[in-house]
Amino acid sequence: MTNKDEADQAEILARLAQSREELRRLLDPPRKESGVNGGANPDARPEGFPRSRTMQFLLGEHGLRMLGAAATGLLIARPAFTLRLLKMLPASGLARMLLMRGISALRSRRE
């Protein structure tokens, strides 16, 4: 390799390292202390559930929005298939979960 090739390669590697660091900073938010309100998910319980970042994301505000958007898109694209899927869901468990989320949201607003 010539000096010019080595300099070009060093410049490319430096830019690549910089872009990787930017992606890491964007995709991996800083971890907060674990606890009731200190974790990545404000709804996390003191015992640390959900522990995985995937579940924290899916149970957090952004994850619920994403799942809602996907469900809405599925309902618009294939309504008959979506209604068949809804019939398979346990309605009482789903209603209980939604009710508990609503109650906890109301309590947190008052405090």
Tens-binned pLDDT, residue by residue, of the chain (111 aa)? 688 889 999 999 999 999 988 888 877 766 665 544 444 545 545 556 677 888 777 777 787 788 888 888 888 899 888 878 777 877 777 777 777 787 788 788 776
pLDDT given at position 55? 79
pLDDT given at position 15? 92
> Which tokens belong to 59?
């149970």
Those residues whose C-beta lies under 8 Å from the C-beta of residue 64, and which sit 6 or more positions away, are: 58
pLDDT given at position 23? 83
Those residues whose C-beta lies under 8 Å from the C-beta of residue 41, and which sit 6 or more positions away, are: 50, 56, 59, 60
pLDDT given at position 25? 83
pLDDT given at position 91? 73
44 in Cβ contact with 50 (< 8 Å): yes
